[in-house]
A = this chain, B = another copy of it.
Amino acid sequence: MIAILKPGTTPQQTQHLVSWLKTMNLDVHISQGAEVTVLGLIGDTSRVDMDLLKSLEMVETVKRVSEPFKQANRKFHPQDTIVTVDNARIGGGYFAMIAGPCSVESEEQIIEVAQAVKASGATMLRGGAFKPRTSPYAFQGMKGEGIQLLLKAKEATGLPIVTELMNISTLDLFADVDVIQVGARNMQNFDLLKELGKTKKPILLKRGLANTIQELLMSAEYIMSEGNENVILCERGIRTFETATRNTLDLSAVAVLHNLTHLPVVVDPSHATGRADLVAPMAFAAAAAGADGIMVEVHNNPACALCDGAQSLTPPQFDELSRKVQKIREVLV
């Protein structure tokens, strides 16, 4: 970390600041320039509060040289992490095709969709049991019963299952779930992240609507710093001024993340766009951008889905998408 002091800072002021920094177990290297004085802070700067440092009268600016995340950092872990999810893998060249309905609605529905997406190449089944809804009056999911139905679909197809947890108090219900999803709205629910860090389950961590790539990595760090290294990152659109799509899918995040971290990155074009007609082009684009997986909503009867039908594909649409995604991946190798 580099702190640049304002012109006119006295040697006493500089010394006072250096002493204070040393109380934080940092080594400080002083470079006295013609125009400015630069302090190089050496040691564990991840605990240093940049905002506080910037607030000091004598400090012009502060700049991190090293990123504030460690366990998620590719610099300290150059090889891609491969997360094992039951019989499937993701990362390091393994591509995950995650598909399924927005919400679990019935045994018949979830098994039918699971069989269809498996036949089209899906490697994991997704389905919402606990549903975060903006309105308290909207359908909130089948909850525990929904998880039981997902497990039946797993039994019928062998597909590992991915489903969202909203509240740590329901963790017991997720004992047989293969991947626990943390939704965009909970990306900075730090207490939840810490608790999930104490499990060994793969966690699919969705980027928040207004969260930066670095904040996503810091949230992954919350999970990893508690001992769980099985984190899968998910880009699902950010909030911008554009209203033609529900959110703006930030596909450059895939390449930026691959540069910064060894963790696998999946893309969810269904929630990002909110429009079925945009799912296929955005899934192709995600694969071309180098994503380690995509997560797509598929429903056997989109027009009657209890929620998010607008963005679901039919099984035949998913089948075509899946084949083309596979071909695009072959081009990139």
Q: How far is the CB of A106 from chain B (nearest CB, A)?
A: 16
Q: How far is the CB of A55 from chain B (nearest CB, A)?
A: 3
Residues 18-38 of A contacting B (Cβ, < 8 Å): 27, 29, 31-36, 38
When chains A and B are docked, how far (Å) is the Cα of A56 from the Cα of B310? 7
Neighbouring B residues of A55 by C-beta, 8 Å: 276, 302-303, 309-311
When chains A and B are docked, how far (Å) is the Cα of A52 from the Cα of B331? 32
Residues 162-210 of A contacting B (Cβ, < 8 Å): 166-169, 185-186, 188-192, 194, 208-210
When chains A and B are docked, how far (Å) is the Cα of A49 from the Cα of B40? 25
A132 touches which of B132, B169, B190, B332 (Cβ 8 Å) = B190
Asked if B65 and A225 make an inter-chain contact with CB atoms under 8 angstroms apart, the answer reads no
Asked if A245 and B241 make an inter-chain contact with CB atoms under 8 angstroms apart, the answer reads no
Neighbouring B residues of A136 by C-beta, 8 Å: 190, 194, 218, 221-222, 225
When chains A and B are docked, how far (Å) is the Cα of A166 from the Cα of B222? 15
Q: Which of A34, A47, A136, A244 has the most CB of B within 10 A?
A: A136
Query: Known contacts A36-B40, A49-B306, A134-B188; is A252 also within 8 Å of B238 by CB?
Result: no
Query: Which one of A115-123, A144-152, A285-293 is at the interface?
Result: A285-293
Asked if B250 and A242 make an inter-chain contact with CB atoms under 8 angstroms apart, the answer reads yes
Query: Which one of A76-84, A87-95, A153-161, A253-261 is at the interface?
Result: A253-261
Query: Known contacts A33-B40, A278-B256, A287-B288; is A167 also within 8 Å of B191 by CB?
Result: yes
Residues 210-234 of A contacting B (Cβ, < 8 Å): 210, 212-215, 218, 221-222, 225
Q: Which partner residue on chain B sits nearest A290 by CB separation?
A: B281
Interface residues of A (CB under 8 A from B): 2, 4, 27, 29, 31-36, 38, 40, 42, 44, 46-47, 49, 51-52, 54-57, 60-61, 63, 65, 68-69, 132-139, 166-169, 185-186, 188-192, 194, 208-210, 212-215, 218, 221-222, 225, 238-245, 248-256, 259, 272-274, 276-278, 281-282, 284-290, 302-303, 305-311, 324, 327-328, 331-332
Could you list 16 A-B pairs, sorted by A, with CB under 8 Å? A29-B35, A31-B31, A31-B33, A51-B308, A52-B305, A54-B310, A61-B65, A136-B225, A167-B191, A212-B243, A213-B244, A238-B248, A252-B281, A254-B281, A324-B332, A331-B331
